[in-house]
Amino acid sequence: MEEFRELVGIMARLRASGGCPWDREQDHRSLKPYLLEEAYELLEAIDAGNDPKVCEELGDLLLQIVFHAQIGSEEGRFDIADVCRGISGKLLNRHPHVFGEAQVRDSDEVSDNWEQIKRAEPLKEDRSSVLDGVPKALPALQKATKVQKRVAKVGFDWDNHHGPAEKVHEELGEVQAAVESGDAERLVAEIGDLLFAVVNLARRLGVDSEDALRLAVARFGERFRLMEQRAEAEGTEMQGLSLAELDELWGAAKAELQASPPSPLRSGEGSTAEPCPAVPPSPERRGDGGEAP
């Protein structure tokens, strides 16, 4: 494809003698923040449904890939052709139902086959656990989901979403107990367990936790900005308002914006005043002291 070859050539020129000083100074490590930034900007464009922006951000992300490949080429380790051959071979090998004679019933079976084929492929590193290979740098919610999916493949999972829902209540109760104990280290651990349980519930309900939280933060930000605008229009400083007045602004913003998070000042909205019940013994609990995540 001529356009792709042109992009590769431009990157090579930028890195060559007499090219761009900034581009020439970069290496794999220095480019890491930009790779993440471009990926998240692409996610934002996708969430916004902005096709021109999605196209632009895909280009920015592709630039990062070409940039890393050019550095690899200069160091004699790999080049963009190796990158393309590698992913092409992987796709061909892991889709025998498309490029071979295998038959599959649905996407779940495709996913199962993908993991089986992946485990059978020659690896440079030893993977003795189903958890090996989960990227350490993944965002926490995404990493939790990936870990839960991995262990579910070997049957370490709840039968349905009711188990994770009860687990959320149990963990919330343990958070409350940690608060009352005054043990800061225990509180951190219990908050982590609660978040992990919420991610598990979302997974069983088919909800991507990373997407859900990102969208919730965006909705919250939109409503809060509207609060600020209303306060400014009324000639008041938000810092000087009482909690009741702030909550009134929040409620007014809620009237304009739908599907927003509950007010952080309303104890009765989206919360429970009763202590969370402990989860009764469940058939999903495993032997050897463990339990489904």
Asked if residue 102 belongs to a domain, the reply is no
Asked if the structure places residue 109 within a domain, the reply is: no
Position 137 scores a pLDDT of 83
Q: Is 151 exposed, middle or buried (0-12, 13-18, 19+ CB in 10 A)?
A: middle
**Confidence band for 254, pLDDT divided at 50, 70 and 90:** confident
Which of 33, 51, 78 is the C-terminal boundary of a domain?
Answer: 78
Tell me if 179 is assigned to some domain. Answer: yes
The pLDDT mean for the chain works out to: 85
One domain, residues 138 and 74: no
Last residue of a domain, one of 33, 61, 78: 78
Does 32 fall in a domain?
A: yes
DSSP 154: T
Instruction: Give a yes or no: residue 205 inside a domain.
Output: yes
Higher pLDDT, 237 or 127: 237
Residue 253 CB burial class (10 angstroms; 0-12, 13-18, ≥19): buried
Cα-atom radius of gyration of the chain, to the nearest Å? Answer: 25
Total number of residues shown for the chain: 293
Range of the domain at 204: 132-283
In a domain, 121, yes or no: no
CATH number at residue 53: 1.10.287.1080
Q: How far apart are CA 176 and CA 111, in angstroms?
A: 39
Across the range 144-163, mean pLDDT stands at 91
- 63 and 143 both lie in a single domain: no
142 and 62 in one domain?
no
Q: Is the pLDDT of residue 119 over 80?
A: no
Residue 87 domain-assigned (yes or no): no
Are residues 158 and 29 both part of a single domain? no
What integer pLDDT is reported at residue 153 of this predicted model? 84
> Quick check: is 291 in a domain?
no
pLDDT: is 119 or 133 the higher one? Answer: 133
Domain count, the chain: 2
Claim to verify: residue 153 and residue 242 sit in the same structural domain: yes
What pLDDT, on a 0 to 100 scale, did the predictor assign at position 107? 87
DSSP 8-state class, residue 130: T
